[in-house]
Amino acid sequence: MPIIKHSKPIIIDIHERERPRDMAGLIAELEHESPIARRWAARDLAEHEQSSEALIARLKREADPSVRDAILTTLTSQGNTIAVQGLVDCLRSEDAALRNEAIEVMKLLPEEVALIMNSLLTDADSDVRIFAVNILESLCHAQVETWLIDVIEQDAHVNVCATAVDLLGEVGTSASRAALMHLKAKFPDEPYICFAVDLALKRISED
């Protein structure tokens, strides 16, 4: 009986980098059906800062985690006004994963995010204000304590203030003592605020 030799399966190149590699071609590639193609396009667009708007638009509807990661990496490297504002828009998304990803990227852009931090901390949406405080947690910027003091002095939302107090317990100095004491008087019937303030003051005293 003759032995039938089966040929090896042919691996078909999906031409993930088949289109022109100029900005227009790469932006078009962001709509490719293959996530590999979209990922390559997102990576290659790092050299084209004017592509930030297209990247943000794709990010908001991209389902593949590896493509989202590539887009976020490129937006971090671009770090321009459009990229940062697009990330702010993501903070308002119903997609919790997208919100968290935006927060992590914004933490990596201290100087760029600092320019809009005041507006984030006074946003009409209390959730956005909380996210802004979360960004401050890892934002290496000299104004972090000042921003947090402003929050607990001016914000009327207890959850926003509670988030800020928790962070002041880690980064606060004697400069925040008076604002912390005032916060206890501001929310006298909120046990957690009283607890968090006392803990923050204790940590400050020990430093």
Residue 83 has pLDDT above 70, yes or no: yes
Residues 160 and 181: their CA atoms lie apart, in Å, by: 17
Residue 43 near residue 61 (C-beta atoms within 8 A): no
Is there a domain that residue 10 lies in? Answer: no
Is there a domain that residue 49 lies in? Answer: yes
Is there a domain that residue 203 lies in? Answer: yes
Choose the weakest-confidence range: 5-19, 97-111, 130-144, 156-170. Answer: 5-19
Where a domain ends, among 109, 132, 162?
109
- Tell me what the pLDDT averaged over the chain comes to: 90
Is there a domain that residue 158 lies in? Answer: yes
Where a domain ends, among 88, 109, 130?
109
Is there a domain that residue 2 lies in? Answer: no
Where a domain ends, among 109, 125, 156?
109
In this prediction, residue 15 carries a pLDDT of 52
**DSSP assignment letter at 188:** T
In this prediction, residue 17 carries a pLDDT of 53
* One domain for residues 129 and 204: yes
Residue 71 near residue 62 (C-beta atoms within 8 A): yes
* One domain for residues 141 and 202: yes
Q: Domain range holding 206?
A: 116-207
pLDDT class of 140 with cuts at 50, 70, 90: confident
* One domain for residues 121 and 191: yes
In this prediction, residue 5 carries a pLDDT of 41
List pLDDT tens digits, range 87-120.
Answer: 999 999 999 999 999 999 999 999 999 999 999 9
* One domain for residues 123 and 207: yes
What is the count of structural domains for the chain? 2
* One domain for residues 137 and 200: yes
pLDDT class of 9 with cuts at 50, 70, 90: very low
DSSP codes of every residue in 92-158: T-S-HHHHHHHHHHHHT-HHHHHTTHHHHHT-S-HHHHHHHHHHHTT---TTHHHHHHHHHHH---H
CATH number at residue 41: 1.25.10.10
* One domain for residues 99 and 180: no
Residue 20 has pLDDT above 80, yes or no: no
Q: pTM score, two decimals?
A: 0.85
Arithmetic mean of pLDDT, 74-78? 96
Q: How many CB atoms lie within 10 A of CB 133?
A: 25
